Amino acid sequence: MDAAQEAQSCQSICVQTIQHCLQMGGSHVEPSHMQLLQDCAEICETTATFLLRGSPQHNQVTAACATICELCAQSCDRFTGDAQMKACADECRRCAAACQQVAQMRPGGAGGPGHRSVP
């Protein structure tokens, strides 16, 4: 799976997890945790868009995405025994790894991971 697809998948699970947290209540709705989920969903959506359209600025966005996804994964890991939170943490880590790989590419390195040619 390329970085754009990982970002789209991560955005989706973060949105689903926000709903799960709202239903669970309690520590699941701590402001800092909810904000990380929202931040992660937003940066993943932006990252996917930058990658799909081949923006030359994708390196900066994917670097930020990798950082935020890792923070979100750590926040979700606090909820042991919760399958939704584990699934979100796992997906955030996959996205972080894919984005980190793309962020380390030289700018303008079209054709590498995360880049999709549009005919």
Whose tokens are 């930058």? That residue is 50
26: left (phi > 0), else alpha (psi -120 to 50), else beta?
left
Measured CA to CA, the distance from residue 38 to residue 101 in angstroms comes to 23
Tell me: the pLDDT tens digits for 68-95? 999 999 999 999 999 999 999 999 999 9
Report how many helices (DSSP H) and strands (DSSP E) the chain contains, helices first: 4, 0
Which domains are present in the chain?
Answer: 3-103 (1.20.1270.360)
What one-character DSSP code corresponds to residue 53?
T
Assign 117 to helix, strand or coil: coil
Q: Taking residues 22-36, report their average pLDDT.
A: 97
pLDDT band for position 105 (50/70/90)? confident
The reported pLDDT for the residue numbered 78 is: 96
Token readout for 98 is 């894919």
Q: Taking residues 101-117, report their average pLDDT.
A: 58
